[in-house]
Amino acid sequence: MCGIIGIVGQVPVAPLLVDALKRLEYRGYDSAGIATIEGGELARRRAEGKLVNLEHRLDEEPLAGTIGIGHTRWATHGVPNETNAHPHFSNGVAIVHNGIIENFAELRQELVEDGYAFTSQTDTEVVAHLVSRELKRGARPVDAAHRALKRLEGAFALAIMFQGDDDLIIGARNGPPLAIGHGKGEMYLGSDAIALAPFTNSVTYLEDGDWAVVRRNHVEIFDMKGEPVERPRQQSVGSSFLVDKGNYHHFMEKEIHEQPEVISHTLAHYLDFTEGRARALDLPFDFAKLDRLAMSACGTAYLAGSIGKYWFERYARLPVDIDIASEFRYREMPLSGKSAALFISQSGETADTLASLRYCRDQNVPIGAVVNVRGSTIAREADVTFPILAGPEVGVASTKAFTCQLSALASLAVMAGVARGHIASEAESILIRQLAEAPRFANQVLRLSDQIEKVARELSRVRHVLYLGRDTSYPLAMEGALKLKEISYIHAEGYAAGELKHGPIALIDETMPVIVIAPHDRIFDKTMSNMQEVAARGGRIILITDEAGAARTSLTTMDTIVLPDVPEFIAPIVYALPIQLLAYFTAVAMGTDVDQPRNLAKSVTVE
Ligand code: F6R
């Protein structure tokens, strides 16, 4: 988390730094700051809260200078206030940092004993003092930075600037991403290529353990031993325009509405609708020979994978283990020579997912990754990337990335089913025809927005909500709960409907709405029995179903959201939309910051 930027430029850099930080705000928005060298002296402006506060600060007190670094923060060590905001200074050294310095407590103790005074509660300030101590001991800036870097444990992307040298920024990476942008007589450093896109699309990604000496006309990259290393220069695919909300009130609303289009782009990438066939892909494994697929991801991406598990097992008869990445990475799962691993990540930078990928790589398991951000670390480290064509997702709550992840996973499940001989040619074209219909059904669901908004107004008055579903609607129930809690701050839980009577039913009373996701499928009647159990205890039900489902149920304490009749295979893609809309309208009714909810960040690059 946190976004960092550095520019060694020709023109005043303060406005360019702020512009780049706007592109990085998805990484954190607790506070922001920039530093430049103005008239030979380090100078900085910092502000608590959103970037707009920093912009106001700079309007009142502008900063000159053609070299600078900037930071947008997601707090790990120290509360989000101006004092803890980056850049941090120590005797002519300025520093911005993304990550966690795990040995900061020992280092801090050592520096305090050496007479260094700390002004913030951050782990970052130790790095500034370490570098400045090396300068004091007589090292030149580059060596001082290298010596300090060797003392650090943990995850970091850093940019370091020195008073007295306005042609030098040191960048370093160990964990969180850092890219160098090559300009003409100007150089850049940034957490991702999108931040750098308006300046240049020629980028070099640092690898773990790399550090770089960045000057206007020259860049050198070294490993931790100080040996020069070569890293390729690449054309980035970062979009140079800052995505806007168009006529929508929030990015999340816009992204929900983009789904029919982006689902169809994603499906078309994998499926040939004219031939009714899955496209042939060049894979590092053969689906037919696998005995297991290990999947891992975090948050919403994990829930997409959990739905994917049902599809791979049902349609391809391929056993799937799906794990939360922060568990997978430490649980030492045995992987056979017939396994493949699949990681799912919108950002392609999530620290736990990346660590899980590396665990599988060490086990020599072929690796696929379903990612949105091309050029991201997970995309680059996988043996094969399965892109989702969602486009930039700005709202912190994942919406269109989720349904695009589902679209990619459903397509891959069909591909696997065909390869393993469980989906015959006719069945393949039926499943592909069903998937082709998903965007149209998604569009129909969007037309129910007014009705869903009315239900959401009621939800906005409660403190707890339960979501229930069976089969693929079970992970969807968890996704509904996740979406609601993260943007409305209402406590919500998603449960397998059959689990209700094993505990959660004790919570049911007239104050607890229960949202039941139940397309009229093979197990609809089972879910209805669970619904009756809720009604019998005075629980208020919001049923999301189709016409056939609605016709079979009538309870007085009930709202019903009636979706189009959709084939069972694609139901999770279509049913994702009403749960997103419910969360969205609830949050709007409560007046929360929908696109940037408290305590969250779009890209989670720390454990
Ligand atoms: C929830 C949400 C998060 C992410 C999770 C993984 O709306 O967005 O739960 O899904 O942080 O992020 P990625 O997909 O970037 O790995």
CA distances from 209 to 71, 141, 360, 596 (A): 21, 19, 20, 32
**Given this model, what pLDDT does residue 75 score?**
84
Which residue's CA is the closest to the ligand 1 atom numbered 10? Answer: 300
pLDDT reported for residue 243: 64
Q: What is the atom index within ligand 1 of the atom nearest the CA of 303?
A: 10
Contact (Cβ atoms closer than 8 angstroms) between residue 33 and residue 49: no
Could you give the CA distance from residue 239 to residue 241 in angstroms, rounded to a whole number?
6
Residue 465 CB partners (closer than 8 Å, separation 6+): 459, 481, 484, 490, 491, 492, 493, 512, 513, 514, 515
What is the spatial distance between Cα 490 and Cα 465, in angstroms, rounded to a whole number?
7
**Residue 483 alpha carbon, nearest atom of ligand 1:** 7
Mean pLDDT by 10 residues, the chain (607 residues): 93 97 87 96 96 96 98 88 96 96 95 96 96 98 98 95 97 93 96 87 92 97 96 75 74 94 93 93 96 97 98 98 95 92 96 96 97 92 96 93 98 98 97 95 95 96 96 98 97 96 90 95 92 88 95 80 97 98 98 91 78
Beta strand 513-517 with 464-469: parallel, antiparallel or unpaired?
parallel
Cβ–Cβ under 8 Å, residues 290 and 319 = no
Cα distances (Å, whole numbers) of residue 544 to 386, 445, 548: 31, 11, 12
Q: Is there a contact between 107 and 130 (Cβ–Cβ < 8 Å)?
A: yes
pLDDT score recorded for residue 557: 63
User: What pLDDT does residue 238 have?
Assistant: 57
Write out the H or E segment, with its range, that includes residue 296: strand 292-297
Q: How far is the CA of 397 from the centre of ligand 1 (A)?
A: 7
* Conformation bin of residue 218: beta by default, left when phi > 0, alpha when psi is -120 to 50: beta
Residue nearest atom 11 of ligand 1, based on CA coordinates: 299
| CATH number assigned to the domain covering 444-591 | 3.40.50.10490
Q: pTM for the complete prediction?
A: 0.83
Task: For ligand 1, say whether the CB of 398 is within 6 Å of any of its atoms.
Answer: yes
> pLDDT value at position 284?
95
| Among the four given CATH numbers 3.30.1380.10, 3.10.20.30, 3.40.50.10490, 3.40.50.150, the one describing domain 269-436 | 3.40.50.10490
Strands (E), 49-149: 67-73, 88-90, 93-101
Ligand 1 mutation pick, 296, 346, 605, max ligand atoms within 8 A of CB: 346
DSSP 369: E
602 in catalytic set: yes
Residue 296, number of CB atoms within 10 A of its CB: 29
State the Cα–Cα distance between residues 319 and 291, nearest whole angstrom. 7
Nearest alpha-carbon partner for 563 in 480, 436, 440: 440
In angstroms, how far is CA 462 from the centroid of its own chain?
28
Residue 299: CB within 6 Å of ligand 1?
A: yes
Return the pLDDT at 237. 62
pLDDT at 554: 74
Q: Which CATH architecture group holds 3-240?
A: 4-Layer Sandwich (3.60)
pLDDT at 296: 98
Q: Atom 16 in ligand 1: which residue has the minimum CA distance?
A: 345
| Domain range summary for the chain, segments of one domain joined by + | 3-240, 269-436, 444-591
Strands 367-371 and 339-345: parallel
DSSP string covering 454-514, please?
HHHHHHTT-SEEEEEE-TTHHHHHHHHHHHHHHHH--EEEEEEGGGGGGTGGGG-STT-EE
Q: Are 174 and 152 in contact (CB under 8 A)?
A: yes
Q: Which residue, among 263, 570, 270, 311, has the nearest Cα to 417 in the 3D structure? A: 311
How many C-beta neighbours within 10 Å does residue 386 have?
23
Contact 310, 486 (CB under 8 A): no
3-240 and 444-591 share one fold: no
Query: What pLDDT is attached to residue 242?
Result: 53
Q: How far is CA 556 from CA 445, 460, 536, in A?
A: 24, 21, 11
Measured in Å, residue 174 CA sits from the centre of ligand 1 at 22
Q: Is residue 486 lining ligand 1, measured as CB closer than 6 Å?
A: yes
